A and B are shown apart, each in its own frame.
Chain A
Amino acid sequence: MLIIDHLTKTYGKTRAVDDLCLHIAPGEICGFIGHNGAGKTTAIKACCGILPFDSGEIRINGLSVQKDPLACKRLLAYVPDNPDLYEFLTGMKYLNFIADVYAVDSQEREKQIRRLAEMFGIYEALGQNIGAYSHGMKQKLALTAALMHRPKLLVLDEPFVGLDPKASHLLKQEMRLLCEEGSSIFFSTHVLEVAEKLCDTVAIISHGKLLRYGPTEQVRGDESLEEVFLTLAEEGKADV
């Protein structure tokens, strides 16, 4: 579903992402792990066609992000690390806006908005302006908007930040459900326990370079993912 081949992105002289290669199959959840400033958000934004990159290739369902960005964007949904949504819109207007852009028909949007917003407990608040929402509510709204059009690829940047334990649990359930429908999920996280339990594959990145990538069981071996990550992070530091 998502193929990242030798992706490189530089900011001036700094290589934010350096020769990154990832292949995410349909129905797969891939966790993207790395320290702050490792290049996770840059790679994610490049995958979503938000950020142009220097070299390499990104393909979504066989389509090139560089050559056919619109077709790729129609297949995916992206939730940024900070839910900076349009604060002047009400929650309902925001969801309708997203549904219009992704051409979700009236019946489907009503069904999905009701289901997801009620599940996250924000349905009653949809009449209020987003500016009045708490961080967690904004995050739930952003997730509702992303899940509403049942994307083939869901890209999430730190999706569990700001969510209460119940909402985190529900999101994990929903992520699994989406994968059962054949979609793929690529998400970055600092919560290694979540990555360990939820992800089929994990990719560990440091200073833009991929350090370890593969099935979760294989990456962690006999250790916990936390131990693997810390060891790799130390080695990464020594390399630098």
Chain B
Amino acid sequence: MFRLLLKIRLKGLGSAMISRLGRNKKKTALAGVLMTLLILYALGAVGLSVGMMFHGLAEVAALAQLQWFYFALAGMMMLLLGFVGTVFMTQSQLYEAKDNELLLSMPIKPSAVLACRLAAIGVVELAYTMLIAVPVCVAYCLVMGFQPLTVLFFVLGSLLLTVLALTISCLCGWLVSLLTARIQRKNLLSVLLMLAFFGVYLYAYAQLPTYLEKLMANGTEMALAFKKALPALYYFGVACASGDWLRLLAVAAVCLVPFALLYWLLSRNFVRLATQRRTAPKSRLRGKLFTSSGPFKALVKKEMASVWGMPMYLFNCGLGALLAPVGAVFLAVKGRQLLQLLTLSVQNGEELTLGILCLMPAVCMIMTLFSAPSLSLEGKSFGLLKGLPVKAKTVLNAKITAHLLLGGVPLAVALAVLGVAFELTAGQWALLLALPFSVLAFGAVFGMAANLLLPRFDWVNPTLVVKQSGSVMLAMFGGMFVLALPLMVYFIWLIPVIEITPFLWLCTAFFVVLTLALLRFVHTRGVRMYEKM
């Protein structure tokens, strides 16, 4: 029974990625190949960035004979990423799963339902662990050479930390579920919690080199502090570095005992948790009740309401938009001196600074993905939308417009902060506005086109569509690739040929042309595809 339930859950997670394109096997196979390539590309990109950072750390750790700290930091990143990646998943897949009551009505032990749900989340948790563990291990072997015992201990320890991350996610997910169930503005609270968790992760990631510097300066004190604050990670680091079985057993105890306790606690309360009514206080009718607008505006408002109404949608697809003003303030406060130094010390310093100012918000806009799952999110109400007296083109344009508005407002704030803080000239202002906004427009139309190509309406939980669907992945990684491509071309071939500013204007033109071409695709083939859905 357990295997059957687990198989169904994993199938659900997997099928969210690849849409079934009717009965056309060719198209389904093509979508499968496309998704595989995208996943490989994404894994490669993330792995490379983590690997490069840890390669540097491994070199410093080897010099200072602090290998244990290298592994402890890797363990911390695994725990944090696993936790941030799955804490809200536990809410939708474990405590508030839509099929809880159906499964509990069947002749299946509640503990089996719980176990299969935990196992499915555990698989996702393991994927997050691997995302850090593999490049960390490769970087270590490149610096220190292949040490079988160290690798074995690291693999075993990573598996144990996955269990610990699962335990923490389940506990926090439980708390989040309890908190959000009883308040009216649950969406706002959920988004704030998501941002807080993600902020902690980003902070820890940004602080990695600082930790090592501090450790080198104050080795013994820092080690003692680390041991006291995070004993599991300390023992994990020491076990990997020294091949000490006793320390690994201690890690196992720290990771497995809380999990066993959590499982015992959840299995005793699972029926109650899964069936409790989550009753927030009832909202009363207030404000201007009968407001009228045109069909297009109504559709845009509906799209925006869907973003505000689904915290997972706002957080996962709006992360870039949320980060743009944060990044701008960070650059204006912390990066200003650095960039001013750059302006003075490098030959093209001023232009390079402008390039960085343009690219930071542009990267954030590529990570803004509201339009990418917007069609799939119609789900079962797609028939309702198709029955309305509005043109397909109007519907698609409304989705694109909502994306532009939701991304455009924080972008405008970010650009205003950057422009004022760095005292730009009129020409620089023009470029600062043109490039990020053209990238935003490209992202909106590209996301829409991706969703028309890879729609998915038969989902049970919208989280899967927002986090893992093919269209979202295509929009994110495809968009990053398109943004990175001209930059790579520039740095490899064009540096001696063209200055940075004219090149950035060319990039803007490139994105405008690409956006117009994609918009034409959406308005012609896209409309026909929509009508056939």
A residues with CB within 8 A of B: 12, 45, 48-50, 52, 70-71, 73-74, 78, 80, 82, 84-90, 92-93, 96-106, 109-110, 113, 123-129, 132
Contacts and interface: CB of A to CB of B under 8 A. Distances in A.
B297 A100 contact: yes
A103 B23 CA distance: 38
Contacts of A82: 380
Contacts of A86: 302, 305-306, 381, 384
A93 to B, nearest CB: 7
Contacts of B380: 82, 84
Interface of B: 23, 280, 282-286, 289-295, 297-299, 301-302, 305-306, 308-310, 379-381, 383-384, 386-391, 531-532
A89 B302 contact: yes
Contacts of B293: 100
5 contacts: A80-B387, A84-B383, A97-B298, A110-B290, A127-B282
B309 A101 contact: no
Given A84-B380, A86-B381, A97-B298, A73 B290 contact: no
A52 B305 contact: no
A225 B291 CA distance: 46
A59 B381 CA distance: 25
Contact of A89 (B23, B284, B290, B309): B309
Contacts of B299: 101
Contact of B388 (A73, A87, A89, A109): A73
Given A84-B379, A96-B290, A49 B387 contact: yes
Nearest to B388: A101
B292 A105 contact: yes
B309 A126 contact: no
A99 B309 contact: no
Interface centre among B290, B295, B298, B381 (most CB of A within 10 A): B290
A70 B391 contact: yes
Nearest to A87: B309
A223 B383 CA distance: 37
Contacts of A103: 294-295
Given A101-B389, A109-B292, A110-B290, A92 B384 contact: no
Given A45-B383, A78-B387, A109-B290, A100 B531 contact: no
B310 A88 contact: yes
B531 to A, nearest CB: 7
A124 B285 contact: yes
A101 B391 contact: no
Counting chain B CB atoms within 10 Å of each CB, the highest count among A90, A96, A99 belongs to A96
B292 A106 contact: yes
B390 A101 contact: yes
A70 B392 CA distance: 10
Given A86-B381, A102-B389, 11 more contacts: A80-B383, A80-B384, A84-B383, A86-B384, A88-B306, A88-B308, A88-B310, A109-B290, A124-B285, A127-B286, A132-B280
Contacts of A85: 381, 384
Nearest to B299: A101
B289 A92 contact: yes
B383 A50 contact: yes
A26 B302 CA distance: 34
Given A80-B383, A101-B298, A109-B292, A129 B309 contact: yes
State the 4 A-B residue pairs at the shortest beta-carbon distance, nearest first.
Answer: A88-B309, A100-B298, A73-B389, A84-B380
Contacts of A110: 289-290
A123 to B, nearest CB: 8
A45 B382 CA distance: 12
A70 B391 CA distance: 7
Contacts of B309: 87-89, 129
B383 A113 contact: no
A166 B297 CA distance: 36
